[in-house]
Amino acid sequence: MAEFLQQIKAVVFDLDGTLVDSQLDFTELRRRLGWPEHTLILEHLATLSCAIEKQQAAQIIVDFELEGARNASWMPNADLLLKQLKHRQIPMAILTRNMRQATELCMQALDIPIELVLTRDDAPAKPQPEGLWLIAERLGVMPDEILYVGDYLFDIQTARNAGSYCCLYRYGDNHIYAEQADLVVDDLLELLVHLQN
């Protein structure tokens, strides 16, 4: 077992694609926005100089996220994992690129038992590290005592940038990021074994 796991005191999760399935199809979102495939959505939005174009694009993104939040369901075993971690009194938090309104809708709909949740409305969007630093401060741990669990490259980069450790929840075609993660799990419940120190 990886030695760094001994020092983990808190677990932070990405939301979409890690704890919940919002069925967000970003290819479809880019189509609605009229932007090229592989465009980084939030980053591109920030570069728009025309106020009307920016406002229209932002509204399309908001509607898309709210639609996803209303359709959200648990990822396999995510609810069981959170119950077990809560039972073990391991501090938890969520750091997501979603906006707060959609995140709260999803949290309430699924009754997700995590109180500390940071969205892109609370800190610069991933892969910027500030969100993890804020979480570390609020949980009273150091960044290198955090395991950040996610399903995408941004999650790994965020952990790296913050000086935290990262776990890739591997499924579908995201295995291409596995080599960059400190830990890889194919089932969220595997985390319970890794965190049994």
What would the pLDDT profile of 8-64 be if each residue is shown by its tens digit?
A: 999 999 999 999 998 888 899 999 999 999 999 999 999 999 999 999 999 999 999
Give the pLDDT confidence of 161-197 residue by residue, as tens digits. 999 999 999 999 999 999 999 999 999 999 999 998 5
Mean pLDDT across 120-134:
96
Three-state SS letters, the chain: CCHHHHHCCEEEECCECCCEECCCCHHHHHHHHCCCCCCCHHHHHHHCCCHHHHHHHHHHHHHHHHHHHHCCEECCCHHHHHHHHHHCCCCEEEECCCCHHHHHHHHHHHCCCCCEEECCCCCCCCCCCHHHHHHHHHHCCCHHHEEEEECCHHHHHHHHHHCCEEEEECCCCHHHHHHHCCEEECCCCHHHHHCCC
Q: pTM for this one?
A: 0.93
Q: Please tell me the predicted confidence (pLDDT) of residue 1.
A: 59
Confidence of residue 66 (pLDDT cuts 50, 70, 90): very high
Give the pLDDT confidence of 69-79 residue by residue, as tens digits. 999 999 999 99
Residues with Cβ within 8 Å of residue 34, at least 6 apart in sequence: none
Q: Please tell me the predicted confidence (pLDDT) of residue 2.
A: 79
**Residue found under tokens 């926005």:** 33
| Burial degree of 90 (CB within 10 A; 0-12, 13-18, 19+) | middle
Contact 58, 29 (CB under 8 A): no
Portions of the chain given CATH number 3.40.50.1000: 3-21+73-194
Longest dimension (CA), the chain: 54
Residues with Cβ within 8 Å of residue 57, at least 6 apart in sequence: 33, 45, 48
Residues 33-55, buried b or exposed e (16+ Cβ, 10 A)? beeeeeeebeeebeeeeeeeeee
Spatial separation of the C-alpha atoms in residues 22 and 109, rounded to whole Å: 12
CATH number of 3-21+73-194: 3.40.50.1000
